[in-house]
Structure 1
Amino acid sequence: MAGALTSGAGDKGVAAALAMAGPGTVVHTPGIAPSPGGRAGAALIDRAAVAPEPTVESVDGGMVRLVPVTVGEKHSVVEAFIPASELTKDTARDWWLLLGLAVVLVGGAVFVVDRLARGAVSSARNLVEAALAVGDGDLGVRITPSGPRELAEAGYAFNRMADRLVTSRTDERELVADLSHRLRTPLTALRLDAEALDPDDTQIIDLTADEVDRRRGIRRIRQAIGTLEDEVNHLINTTRQAVAAQVAAPEDGLCDASEVVRERMMFWSALAGDQDRQYRVVGANLRIPVPVARAELAAALDAVLGNVFRYTPQGTAFEVGLSRRDGWVALRVDDAGPGIADPEQALRRGQSNQGSTGLGLDIARRVAQNTGGSVSLDRAAMGGASVVMLLADADATPKIPSRFGLVGRGRPAREKDPVRRRWQRGRE
């Protein structure tokens, strides 16, 4: 209606616009009595005529919207009446829809939060149970990290901690076993010296009292050595049974392999002389540094030589050789004994068919592997077993182990098993 008046429509146009506007639309002229059918009073109409914007006012039975229209010098006010029934139509339905939507949103939010909280609580509970299990001594417990980011990170940290605990306890057990095995070297010397003493039989009638006491002392010495050796074996076996997995950490240090060989042979030469064993040392006259702690290399050499004295008859000859080539140092111990029937089993830690703990060769293997090398078993030229420790040369950059075979042979050998690096001699 305001558009029709503004465009200057005639009486017919204004009448048509009123007809289209429908009931409740009235045109008032300010300063004159309100037109019939209108709901707004004269004061309200006069105030709306000078207002810059349309006004909305409440009246009896509803609300009116008053729009001022100025065409030339003529001022008009268009009134549109909206009954109260139209204003509140479908309001209850809208409120119920809003209420239902609010209930759905709140319920969904509660469900989602409950799911998230349940996952977090479950992850925290699993972490607590795993920590309690580790505290009770079960180091095999691991958890599957889940839940919020922080709890998942805590789960990964817990698994790493458990792995470190297993590794630390394994290293500790292995160290105890290896240190116990080192005691067998002096025990072997004591046992051999004790066996070289006079018989301990005291049943001979014509023995003097002093001789009986002396033989009883020899018997006590032998019994004490046997008891001590049994205790050491029991300690080694008990420690091995408690180890969950073998984790070897490389040793730091540097020593002269030739010096270690010469020093240890001074010890073993006395026993060799007592047992009429012929021996020879080859290649230990020059300095050959290796990245192994001195005590570790000495323990490995003692373990191999101890096997020679323990498992070969008295009078069996042996040879210790040392050489270097292509960034590697080979320490070889040969003997003229019966040899080793199953080399692969002999290299397994804790495996022995001789009634021992089976750790001697494994000590040598670990020392060699800590430098990137290996230990191999083969038939020696002397007829018995040949044990070769391949160590990295500290003065050279280690390369791929060359196939030069064992020391003192000069015969190339092919690597039959790359995993075990068994150095063959090229002979039957």
Structure 2
Amino acid sequence: MTTIVALAFLIPLGTALDRDVREDALADAARRSAMITGALAVSSDPAVVRRVIEAGSGNSTDPPVVHGLSTGGSPRADSQDVDRAIRDGAPVVADVPGGVVRLEPVPVAGRVLVVEVFVAEAALNAGTGGTWLMLILVAIGLVVASVIVVDRLAARAVSSARGLVDAALAVGDGNLELRIQPSGPRELAEAGYAFNRMADRLVTSRTDERELVADLSHRLRTPLTVLRLDADALDSDDTSVGSFSAAELDRRRTIRRIRQAIVTLEGEIDVLINTTRKTVSAEALPGSCDVSEVVRDRMVFWAALAGDQNRSHRVTGAQLRIPVPVPRAELAAALDAVLGNVFRYTPQGTAFEVAVSRRDGYIAVRVDDAGPGIADPDRALRRGASDRGSTGLGLDIARRVAQQANGSVSIDRARLGGASVVMLLADPDAAPRQVSRFGLVGRLAREKESATRRRWGRQRETDE
């Protein structure tokens, strides 16, 4: 293809250069003929014309000739060409052996003289051989350069395609950490970027699946806690001391098996959570629910357990319907995680309170307790961090649910004396907040953020 383009460009160029050389030679002949024509217009004396011819020709071996006037020299033009020039009354260029002649008629004193100027073949083709050689070399150079460039481009394309294939095979074999550096033609580079995005998406999807397993496993801790507390309330399972009837022995062994099964189940859930836990950003799930309804429904469950442990409790603000853009199951799991911490890490008989409020564009779900408090709120809010060797997922579940509703989770001192965990959820029905030109909104937002990270000194064992 490059050869065809080079020939299509260089052949017309060489032809045009040849034509320019020929036209220059004929223009020089016309100039020499004009000198003689001017002399004839002044005088038709052969001696005068001869001197003009000698002056204009120099050492040329083929001086101009004037037909019809004795000026010396050997004419080369055929008589028919001379007659044609006289008949036409215009210059005539005719081919002769060794070159061409230019014949120009000149009327002088009632007759027509013809000035003949010979142009040799060498003058007509002066320098064209070198020109054609140069053009041929240029054509060869273009072809060679194009072959090298195409070879390099093809090598880059092949290398990029091979790298993409190798990376795809590696990902197919399970190496999801492999990424490629996009290179080569634009299409292959775009394919490389698409491959990297696909690999990132695979990693995210796999991690999300593990997170889902960990979170679902953590939700099992709530009913498991109830079972453990109920099992602890049962009679002793000791059969080594005392004399018991067969029925009593069977009952105590059953109690022992129940407690052992609960301990085993707790261990299995902890192992499942710890082996599948990854730190990723969870995607918001579509859906909405009524906060008040969720709080009332879950408190039916927790109130029964609170009665068994002599815990006084109160629910406030859960009378009116308050919608939030969070799936019901997600909000219930978050509330269970926070309440489960109260039952697990505060002594029996510790009072707690659940409150729902709505103001300033946010809906707050607050869980207060009268326990010892949380020593390190920041650590409690970090995923996987715990002072008791647990999974450290409870408060992180609440935090991620709040983030789905463009909110947050904070820990502070409770009015009851213990910890106060507040889930802030954006109110979808709230009017857009007006931005103050004095920047008070930004200042208040910064103050609220700093308040959520407040530390205080009372100690509390933390789960999540």
What TM bracket, shorter-length normalisation? Answer: 0.7 to 0.9
Shift of 1:345: 0.7
> Is the Cα contact below 8 Å between 1:330 and 1:390 reproduced in 2?
yes
Which string of whole-angstrom CA distances, capped at 9 and with x for unpartnered residues, describes residues 35-74 of structure 1?
A: 7512334345445554655223141xx1122323141653
How many positions carry a matched residue from both structures?
409
Q: 1:203-282 residue pairs with structure 2 within 5 A?
A: 203-240=240-277, 243=278, 245-282=279-316
CA contact (8 A) 2:36 2:53 kept: no
CA deviation vs aligned residue, 1:254-303 (integer Å, no higher than 9, x gap): 21111111110110111111112121112222222222111111110000
Q: Distance in 1 between matches of 2:48 and 2:146?
A: 58
Relative to structure 1, the CA distance from residue 133 to residue 34 in structure 2 (aligned partners, 3 Å threshold; closer, same or farther) is farther
* Secondary structure of 1:349's aligned partner: coil
Describe the SS at the equivalent of 1:25. Answer: coil
Give the deviation of 1:235 after TM superposition: 1.4
Partner Cα distance (2:392, 2:64) in 1: 115
Q: Residues 160 and 206 (structure 1 numbering): CA distance in 2 closer, same or farther, change over 3 Å?
A: same
Partner residue, 2:11: none
Counterparts in 2 of 1:394 and 1:174: CA distance versus 1, 3 Å: same
* 2-structure distance, mates of 1:111, 1:220: 81
Deviates more, 1:114-123 or 1:268-277: 114-123
Partner of 2:105: 69
Matches within 5 A, 1:78-117: 78-84=115-121, 93-117=130-154
Compute the TM-score of the two structures, normalised by the length of structure 1.
Answer: 0.84
Residues 218 and 56 of structure 1, relative CA distance in 2, 3 Å threshold: farther
Q: Deviations over 1:109-129 (max 9, x none)?
A: 333333433433343333333
Using the alignment, how far apart are the partners of 2:130 and 2:408 within structure 1?
86
1:417 Cα shift? 7.2
Structure 2 residue 94 is matched with structure 1 residue 56: yes
Equivalent AA in structure 2 for residue 27 of structure 1: V
State the 1:349 CA deviation: 0.6
Give the Cα separation in 1 of the matches to 2:84 and 2:104: 10
Deviating more after overlay: 152-161 vs 200-209: 152-161
Over residues 280-327 of structure 1, what are the superposed CA-to-partner deviations in whole Å (9 max), with x where a residue is unaligned?
Answer: 112222222222111111110000111111111222221111111112
Q: Report the secondary structure of 1:418's partner residue.
A: helix
Partner of 2:355: helix, strand, or coil?
strand
Match of 2:397 among 335, 340, 363: 363
TM-score, normalising length from structure 2?
0.78
Supply the AA of the counterpart residue of 1:71: P
* C-alpha contact (below 8 Å) 1:34/1:41 kept by paired residues: no
SS at match of 2:347: coil
The residue matched to 1:284 in structure 2 has which SS? Answer: coil
Which amino acid counterpart does residue 236 of structure 1 have in structure 2?
A: I
Which of the numbers 111, 120, 126 marks the counterpart of 2:163?
A: 126
Q: Cα RMSD over matched residues?
A: 3.1
Could you say if the C-alpha distance between residues 6 and 96 of structure 1 is closer, same or farther in structure 2, counting changes exceeding 3 Å? closer
Check whether the contact 2:93–2:102 (CA below 8 A) recurs between aligned residues. yes
In 2, Cα distance between equivalents of 1:290 and 1:44: 108
- In structure 1, give the amino acid aligned to 2:340: G
Q: Deviations over 1:159-207 (max 9, x none)?
A: 3323332332232222221111111111111111111112212223411
CA distance in 2, matches of 1:354, 1:416: 32
More helix by share: 2
Are the aligned partners of 1:70 and 1:76 in contact in 2 as well (CA < 8 Å)? yes
Indicate the residue corresponding to 1:350 in structure 2.
Answer: 384
SS in structure 1 opposite 2:399?
Answer: helix
Alignment match, 2:366: 332
Where has structure 1 moved over 6 Å in runs of 4 or more?
32-35
- The equivalent of 1:377 in structure 2 is 411
- 1:14 partnered with 2:52: no
Tell me: CA distance 1:414–1:373, structure 2 relative to 1, closer, same or farther (3 Å): closer
Identity %: 60
User: Per-residue deviation at 1:130?
Assistant: 3.1
* AA in 1 matched with 2:390: S
- Unaligned ranges ≥5, structure 2: 1-31, 435-443, 460-464
Report the residue type matching 1:127 in the other structure.
L
SS in 1 for 2:42: coil
User: What is the CA–CA distance in structure 1 between the aligned matches of 2:420 and 2:275, rounded to whole Å?
Assistant: 30
Aligned twin of 1:304: 338
CA distance 1:103–1:313, change in 2 (3 Å)? same
Counterpart in 2 of 1:145? 182
Mapped to 1, the partners of 2:271 and 2:128 lie a distance apart of: 91
Partner SS state of residue 268, structure 1: helix
Mean alpha-carbon deviation: is it higher for 71-80 or for 354-363?
Answer: 71-80
Q: Secondary structure at the match of 2:449?
A: coil
> Which consecutive residues of structure 1, in runs of 5 or more, have no partner in the other structure?
401-412
CA contact (8 A) 2:325 2:428 kept: yes
The aligned residue for residue 421 of structure 1 is: 452
Distance 1:53 1:113 in 2: 54
User: Conserved in 2, the CA contact under 8 Å of 1:260 and 1:294?
Assistant: yes
Q: Do 1:68 and 1:75's aligned partners in 2 also have CA atoms closer than 8 Å? A: no
d(CA) in 2 for partners of 1:265, 1:282:
11
Partners of 2:233 and 2:180 lie apart in 1 by 60
**CA shift digits 1:310-348 (9 cap, x unpaired):** 111222221111111112111111112222221111100
In the alignment, is the contact (CA less than 8 A) between 2:376 and 2:455 conserved in 1? no
Q: Does 1:25 align with 2:60?
A: no
Contact 2:161 2:188 in 1 (8 A): yes
Structure 1 residues 123 and 17 mapped into 2: Cα distance closer, same or farther (>3 Å)? farther
Determine the C-alpha separation between the residues in 2 that align with 1:302 and 1:398: 31
Contact 2:369/2:417 (<8 A) preserved: yes
| Residues 1:393 and 1:110: Cα distance change in structure 2 (over 3 Å) | same
